[in-house]
Amino acid sequence: MGQSIGTLFPLRWRLWLGKLLFRPLGPSTFRASWHRVIKGPCDPPAVEAMQYVASHTSIPLPRVYAVHTKQNSKSFIEMAWNSVFFDVIPISSYQVAVVTKDFKNDKKTWNNSFVSDGEYWITYAPGVRPGDHTAKLREMLYKDKLERLNNTDCIKRYLDTESQHKDVILVEANTSMTDGLSLAPEAANSSLIYLHWSMRYAQGWMWGSNWLCSGFLKVHKTRGYWERPKAWCTKEFLVLKADAWTLGIVYWNHGHTVVRQRAVEIDHCLSAGSEKIKDGCAIRYSMVLLILVTSLNAAILVCMGLTWRLHAQNKKEVSDGQWQKVQLVVLGDAISSFLQHPDEYTSEARFVEKQDCNGRASWSASPSATEMNARLARVTAPIRWYRAASLASWISILSLSVTFSFPFVFGTDQNSVSFATLIIGLVLLLIKSTNQLAKHDQSIENTFDVENGYW
C-alpha cells in the first residue's frame, strides 16, 4: 500500500480509505472491500493481522517486523526521493529604479527611505547599506557609466534567465520633475520616481522577472501586494509591446496599505550590465539525501531477502520430493485476497473492534449473546465517510493544512515552507510508527496466547 496505511490508520475503515487513496483498485476488489466494510467483521489492522496469521501459522514475528520496517522505509524514501535530484535556475537580485526624463537636472540625492532594508539583503556586500548602494547607482547614472538600451534590448536582456543581471534604471517617457509624481516620501519633485528590488513584483523566486510585466499585473484590493501572475513574463509576450512598454508602480506602507500607485511608460533603460553564467541551469543532487535514500533502499533489500529466506524455510513437504507451493504476496494483495475470499482463520471469527480489545487480559471467556448482538450492530452499522479518520486526525491534519497555506497566500518563501513541512512530516511519521509498534507489542501480550498459538 505504499504509505503503510495499515500502521498509520488504526481501524479497518481507515485501512480501506487508505487503499482507495494510495492504491488504485479494480472494480471487483472495490466491491469486495465495500461489501466487507458494510456487512462483514472488521479485520485487524495490517500489522495486527500479520501477527494474528503468524500466531496461527508459526510464521516467526521477526518476519512480520521485517515487512513492517520495509514499509516504513519506503515511506521515508518516497518523501526524500524527489529532493535528491533537482534543477537550478539562476535568479538575479538587483535594483530597478524609475526616473524622470529630465533626471540630469536633479542635483539632490535620492531618498530611498521608503524601500525596506530587508529587500536588499542579497544585493549588498557585507557592510554596504541600502543608502550607500543607491548613492553608488546614482553616481554611475550621472557619470554616464551605464549602458543605454532601447526597450526591446532591455526586455531581452533582463528576461534572459542564463545571465547574472546588474542594476537597471528605467527612464520615463512623459514625466518630468515639475510634475511632482515621485513616490519618494517628502520628495515629490525628485527625479527618482520609484525604486524597488527585482523580486518586488514576485511571490517566490520563480517569478523573479515579472517586474517587467508589472503593467499587466493587478494589486490585491485589500492586502496591498501584487496578485500572483497567471502566466510567465516571456520575451514573446513583452517584445511585441516594447514600443509602448508600461510598468505599474505601487508604494505601500508596512501594513500593506496602498499609499500611491500609477503606471509609467518607459522610453529607454540604462543598464549596469549583465554577465553570462556558466552552467547556470543544471541538474544538481543532494549527497546527504542520496546517502539517505541509498541506505533505506539497502534496508529494503535486506528485509526482502530476509522475507524470502523465511518464506522458503516455511515450505512443507507434502510427500516424498513434493513441496507445498506457497505464493508470496505483498501486504496489500494479501488484504485484498482476504476481503474477497474468507479464509479458515477469519470465517468463524468473532466481531471485534479495537475498543473490545483494550484492557482484555484473556479471550478465554465467551461473550454473551447480548454482547455479541451489540458488537454485531455496532460493527455492521453504516458509517459516514468523514468518520474514517478520528477527530484528532482531522484536527491535526486540517490545522497543519491551514497553517502551511498561509505562506502561499501571503508570499512567504515557499522553499523554506516545503523544507519545514518535510521535517515535520518525518517527525510525525517517526512518532506514529514508534507508538504503533509499542501498541502492537502490548497487544501481543494482552490478546494472544503465544505459547499455544490462539486467542
- Enumerate the domain spans of the chain: 44-84+287-317+393-455, 88-283
1 Cβ contact list (under 8 Å, min separation 6): 18, 19, 22, 23, 46, 71, 331, 332
Q: Count CB atoms within 10 A of the CB of residue 401.
A: 9
Instruction: Using the Cα atoms of residue 218, residue 219, residue 220 and residue 222 in order, give the sign of their dihedral.
Output: negative
Q: What is the pLDDT of residues 284-330, one digit of tens each?
A: 777 877 787 788 888 888 888 887 777 777 666 555 666 666 666 66
**10-14, 163-167, 416-420, 432-436: least confident range:** 10-14
Q: What is the pLDDT of residues 108-159, one digit of tens each?
A: 888 766 554 434 333 334 444 455 677 788 888 888 889 999 999 999 998 8
What is the residue whose three cell numbers read 448482538? 373
- Distance of CA 299 to CAs 46, 285, 308, Å? 20, 22, 14
Higher pLDDT, 192 or 83: 192
- Distance of CA 43 to CAs 222, 353, 409, Å? 53, 8, 43
What does the alpha-carbon distance between residue 56 and residue 52 come to, in Å, rounded to a whole number?
7
What does the alpha-carbon distance between residue 121 and residue 145 come to, in Å, rounded to a whole number?
24
Terminal Cα-to-Cα distance of the chain (whole angstroms): 27
Q: Report whether pLDDT(52) > 50.
A: no
Amino acid at 429: L
| Averaged pLDDT for residues 30-57 | 37
| Averaged pLDDT for residues 25-35 | 35
Rg (CA), the chain: 33
Q: Is 41 helix (H, G, I), strand (E, B) or coil?
A: coil
Compute the mean pLDDT over every residue in the chain, rounded to the nearest whole number. Answer: 65
Read off the pLDDT band of 237 (50, 70, 90): confident
What does the alpha-carbon distance between residue 199 and residue 212 come to, in Å, rounded to a whole number?
11
CB 205 within 8 A of CB 123: no
CB 229 within 8 A of CB 248: no
What does the alpha-carbon distance between residue 407 and residue 368 come to, in Å, rounded to a whole number?
56
Instruction: Encode burial over 217-228: b for 16+ CB neighbours within 10 A, e otherwise.
Output: bebeeebbbbee
What does the alpha-carbon distance between residue 14 and residue 131 come to, in Å, rounded to a whole number?
59
Q: Between the ranges 87-91, 99-103, 277-281, 390-394, where is the mean pLDDT highest?
A: 99-103
22 Cβ contact list (under 8 Å, min separation 6): 1, 2, 3, 5
CB 246 within 8 A of CB 265: yes
Q: Which of 198, 171, 202 is nearest to 93 (CA)?
A: 198
397 Cβ contact list (under 8 Å, min separation 6): 389
The cell for 72 is 516504513
The cell for 302 is 535486506
pLDDT of residue 140: 86
